[in-house]
């Protein structure tokens, strides 16, 4: 070895020491145990079902659901809304469900309902891991669901009914310049079309809603509402109602008679029903009253107007004023399409200018009070759509507005005490409601559990 300067030897020693330190601090490319440090970046994606517009047909909603129990296999859920012209076979074909499952379900007791599925109703199904139907639910209506469940011996079908909670509600409203008709006042008070129609039907024998209403008239009613799972599904029966018309009060109380019939009576037990209703067209208005010296709008001559004209939209239903038999269903130049009904030997009613007759209406057919017999039109000598209605007593034309009408039978004396006990609560509710309105001067409504 040659001789080097001392300074070079010191530099070489420092380089050697530095290299040794770096070798200890820097890890090698392959650690001794790499398994404890591996991080996977792969993601497990949930399966996604795609839907496509297939000739506007409803696509099933598919949902994979796994029970929380480790012992329960995974089930696939499918929901389908029944379409027009669907049957269960067609639905299963759309959902790619084997026909074998369909046959097994239809062989079960209680499967007849599934042979007549209704458009708009919901069908829920679950499939097991073998893609067999595990269960089927068919919602018949908001209350009723048919459930078919696979068992070892085949499918078992049961019908489940939801509990209906019935509450009572009450409303009151007034006829005013802003709401001049029963319909408009009822809608302003929050009543459904069905309730307004039922209210009109209750008092149709005493009040002409086309002729008799006056500003300041007021009505109140107590009725039922039906709820399922906290959701209102429909209005129930009117339990009690009161209508104040031109200062005269009319009351309707629901009473279940000893024979089981539900009938409405006045406060003193008299039947509301009479042999004839006042208006054969609901929610119309009188365009021409009974007048023996009326100037005819077409011929411009004074001619007797022996009836009442009810103006309404073309196609508005016309009902029979009372029980009877159709004497004539015909047409002529003046009356257009018209019907004549005999109500026994004494009474006759006539209905003129109909656009058409109701189905099956012809001479010799018996009709019931309130039954649809035709539709408002403007056939014959008519300036616009309306019903011309005539009422004859022993062959003489009488004013339908003022003619006296025979009453139906009242509550028998033997049932009067039962009637008073059963309806006393309704009367108290109506009285409290009217007192509340009189004090506040405002319309009010409320709901209470029953």
User: Do 267 and 337 fall within a single domain?
Assistant: no
Q: Are 283 and 330 in contact (CB under 8 A)?
A: no
Q: What is the pLDDT of residue 386?
A: 93
**Would you say the C-alpha torsion 256, 262, 267, 273 has a positive or negative sign?**
negative
- Look up residue 143 and give its two tokens: 């209350």
Distance CA 108, CA 112 (A): 9
Q: Are 124 and 136 in contact (CB under 8 A)?
A: yes
Distance CA 148, CA 121 (A): 16
Q: Are 319 and 429 in contact (CB under 8 A)?
A: no
Q: Are 321 and 330 in contact (CB under 8 A)?
A: no
Query: Does 22 map to a domain?
Result: no
Number of compact structural domains in the chain: 3
User: Do 293 and 394 fall within a single domain?
Assistant: yes
User: Do 115 and 206 fall within a single domain?
Assistant: no
Residue 151's CATH number:
3.10.450.350
- In three-state secondary structure terms, 87 is coil
Q: 357 is in which domain, residue-wise?
A: 285-398
Q: What is the pLDDT of residue 333?
A: 94
User: What is the phi/psi pair of residue 425, to 5°?
Assistant: -65, -40
The 10 Å Cβ neighbour count of residue 235 is 17
Q: Which long-range contacts (CB under 8 A, 24 or more apart) does 83-91 make?
A: 83/57, 83/58, 83/119, 84/119, 85/119, 86/117, 86/119, 87/115, 87/117, 88/114, 88/115, 88/117, 91/117, 91/123
Coarse DSSP helix, strand, coil percentages of the chain, rounded to the nearest 5 percent: 20, 35, 45
Stated pTM of the model: 0.64
User: Do 169 and 128 fall within a single domain?
Assistant: no
Residue 304's CATH number:
2.70.70.10
Q: Are 275 and 349 in contact (CB under 8 A)?
A: no
- Look up residue 399 and give its two tokens: 């004013």
User: Do 237 and 194 fall within a single domain?
Assistant: yes
Alpha carbon 93 to chain centroid, angstroms: 32
Q: Are 168 and 225 in contact (CB under 8 A)?
A: yes
349: nearest Cα among 407, 304, 313, 403: 403
Distance CA 110, CA 130 (A): 25
User: Do 127 and 202 fall within a single domain?
Assistant: no
389: nearest Cα among 333, 310, 299: 310
Question: Per-residue b/e over 392-424, b at no fewer than 16 CB within 10 Å?
Answer: beeeebbebbeeebeeeeebeeebeeebbeebe
Q: Which position has the token pair 């239903």? A: 317
437: nearest Cα among 233, 244, 162, 281: 244
Residue 270 zone, left/alpha/beta (φ > 0; ψ -120 to 50; rest): beta
User: Do 219 and 323 fall within a single domain?
Assistant: no
- In three-state secondary structure terms, 324 is strand
Alpha carbon 338 to chain centroid, angstroms: 34
User: Do 346 and 302 fall within a single domain?
Assistant: yes
User: Do 156 and 170 fall within a single domain?
Assistant: no
Residue-wise pLDDT tens for the chain (450 aa)?
A: 455 555 554 545 555 555 544 444 444 444 434 333 332 223 233 333 333 344 444 445 544 333 344 444 567 888 999 999 899 999 999 988 888 999 999 999 988 999 889 999 999 999 888 788 999 999 998 889 999 999 988 999 999 999 999 999 999 999 999 999 999 999 999 999 999 999 999 999 999 898 889 999 999 999 999 999 899 999 999 999 999 999 999 999 999 887 778 889 999 999 888 889 989 998 776 766 645 555 555 555 556 778 999 999 999 999 999 999 999 999 999 999 999 999 988 999 999 999 999 999 999 999 999 999 999 999 998 889 999 999 999 999 999 888 888 777 788 888 999 999 999 999 999 998 888 777 665 444 544 444
- Look up residue 425 and give its two tokens: 């609560």
Q: Which position has the token pair 């809304």? A: 81
User: Do 149 and 237 fall within a single domain?
Assistant: no
Query: Does 24 map to a domain?
Result: no
Query: Does 138 map to a domain?
Result: yes
Start-to-end CA distance of the chain, whole Å, equals 117
User: Do 180 and 262 fall within a single domain?
Assistant: yes
Q: Which position has the token pair 């209350």? A: 143
218: nearest Cα among 1, 434, 450, 60: 434
């Amino acid at each position: 070895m040659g001789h080097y300067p001392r300074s070079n030897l010191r530099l070489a020693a420092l380089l050697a020491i530095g290299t040794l330190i770096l070798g200890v601090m820097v890890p090698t490319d392959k650690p001794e145990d790499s398994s404890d440090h591996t991080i996977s970046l792969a993601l497990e994606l949930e399966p996604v079902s795609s839907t496509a517009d297939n000739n506007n047909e409803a696509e099933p909603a598919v949902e994979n659901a796994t029970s929380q129990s480790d012992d329960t296999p995974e089930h696939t859920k499918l929901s389908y809304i029944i379409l027009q012209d669907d049957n269960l076979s067609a639905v299963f074909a759309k959902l790619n469900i084997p026909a074998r499952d369909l046959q097994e379900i239809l062989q079960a007791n209680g499967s007849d309902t599934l042979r007549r599925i209704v458009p708009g109703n919901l069908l829920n199904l679950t499939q097991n891991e073998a893609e067999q139907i595990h269960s089927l639910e068919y919602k018949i209506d908001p209350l009723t669901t048919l459930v078919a469940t696979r068992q070892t011996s085949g499918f078992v079908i049961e019908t489940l009914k939801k509990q209906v909670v019935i509450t009572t509600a009450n409303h009151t409203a007034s006829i005013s310049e802003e709401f001049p008709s029963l319909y408009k006042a009822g809608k302003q008070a929050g009543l459904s079309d069905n309730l307004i129609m039922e209210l009109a039907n209750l008092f149709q024998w005493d009040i002409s809603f086309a002729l008799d209403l006056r500003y300041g008239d007021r009505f109140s009613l107590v009725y039922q509402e039906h709820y399922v799972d906290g959701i209102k599904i429909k209005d129930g029966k009117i339990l009690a109602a009161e209508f104040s018309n031109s200062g005269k009060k009319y009351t309707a109380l629901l009473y279940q008679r000893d024979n089981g019939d539900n009938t409405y009576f006045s406060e003193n037990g008299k039947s509301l029903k009479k042999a004839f209703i006042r208006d054969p067209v609901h929610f119309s208005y009188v365009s021409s009253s009974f007048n023996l010296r009326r100037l005819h709008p077409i011929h411009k001559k004074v001619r007797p107007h022996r009836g009442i004209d009810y103006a309404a939209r073309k196609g508005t239903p016309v009902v029979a004023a009372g029980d009877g038999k159709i004497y004539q269903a015909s047409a002529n130049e003046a009356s257009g399409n018209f019907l004549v009904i005999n109500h026994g030997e004494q009474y006759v009613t006539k209905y003129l200018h109909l656009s058409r007759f109701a189905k099956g209406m012809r001479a010799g057919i018996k009709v019931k009070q309130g039954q649809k017999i035709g539709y408002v039109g403007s056939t014959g000598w008519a300036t616009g759509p309306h019903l011309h209605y005539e009422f004859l007593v022993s062959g003489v034309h009488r004013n339908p507005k003022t003619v006296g009408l025979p009453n139906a039978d009242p509550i028998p004396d033997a049932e009067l005490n039962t009637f008073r006990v059963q309806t006393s609560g309704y009367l108290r509710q109506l009285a409290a409601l009217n007192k509340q309105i009189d004090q506040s001067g405002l319309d009010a409504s409320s709901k209470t559990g029953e």
